[in-house]
Amino acid sequence: MFLFYLQLPFLLGVPILEKLAAPIAPFFVGRTGRQLFLTDGKPSKPPLLLRMASDCEDGKFISALGAFRCRIVYANVSYDHMVGWRTSSIRREKELVKPPRRSLDGYKHVVDVEYCPPVSSKGPHFPPEAAKAKEAAQNEPSTQNTTEYHDIMEEEMIRGLQRLGWKKVDVSFHSAFWPFFAHNNIHVKNEWLHNAGVGVVAHVADSIKQQESTPLIAASL
């Protein structure tokens, strides 16, 4: 089960694949690959994904998120081959706990709902050691270099995003007929093949209805 907690589960935790992923990604998916692995731009400039966890000269990203009445993330706790649990639920590794195995009443495969209030901080930073680590990840990509850099960036991005309150909905398809379709089940990509996620969609719909019936409370950072 641990494999599905990884940031890139489709690599199956195989060291050689994880080592090669960052340096070769740009050759296959270009700029998107560099952005995904946080190596886009000059070493001295924060990567796009870090900038999007804050307000900066490129845009008021976190303020735009804060303008929403409610922010809800739906996260697969396992069997998602594309997005790891801690990534999709905006949690640190130490914040992951064993999820319940029983679904909530009326919402099959939705196993837990948690409201996380905003955490006051000055937001994400891009310290000199991060710039140095980014340069090393760009010029001499290795498991050690990229891991060190990604650890710094992950913590900073979480700090930025946690300045806002989030409702976190954990979803588990462990009992579904095709659990390995979790990535598509969670949003019912195909109504016939991925209909195990209808309970999740029902939860989304009911959450929207609940928000529409709740008086608007201004969000603030």
Alpha-carbon dihedral 95, 38, 159, 162, rounded to 10 degrees: -80
**Higher per-residue pLDDT: 67 or 213:** 67
Sheet holding 166-171, edge to edge: 72-76, 166-171, 110-116
Nearest-angstrom CA–CA distance, 148 and 123: 20
**Higher per-residue pLDDT: 144 or 88:** 88
Residue 5, pLDDT score: 43
* Residue 40 CB-half CA count within 13 A: 17
Rounded average pLDDT over 98-105: 95
Residue 140, pLDDT score: 82
Two tokens at 216?
């608007």
Per-residue pLDDT band at 2 (split at 50, 70, 90): very low
Asked whether the beta carbons of 57 and 63 are under 8 A apart, the reply is no
Considering the chain, what is the average pLDDT of its residues?
Answer: 86
- Closest C-alpha to 90, from 156, 179, 34, 175: 156
Residue 18, pLDDT score: 54
Per-residue pLDDT band at 3 (split at 50, 70, 90): very low
Long-range contacts (CB closer than 8 Å, 24 or more residues apart) made by 214-220:
214/69, 216/69, 217/69, 219/66, 219/67, 219/68, 219/69, 219/164, 219/165, 220/66
The string of pLDDT tens digits covering residues 68-91 is 989 999 999 999 988 889 999 999
Domain ranges of the chain: 2-212
Residue 33, pLDDT score: 73
% of the chain exceeding 70 in pLDDT: 83
DSSP type of residue 41: S
Residue 107, pLDDT score: 98
Rounded average pLDDT over 187-202: 96
Per-residue pLDDT band at 13 (split at 50, 70, 90): very low
Rounded average pLDDT over 109-116: 97
% of the chain exceeding 90 in pLDDT: 66
**Higher per-residue pLDDT: 164 or 143:** 164
pTM of the model: 0.83
The string of pLDDT tens digits covering residues 16-54 is 555 556 565 555 556 777 888 888 999 999 999 999 999
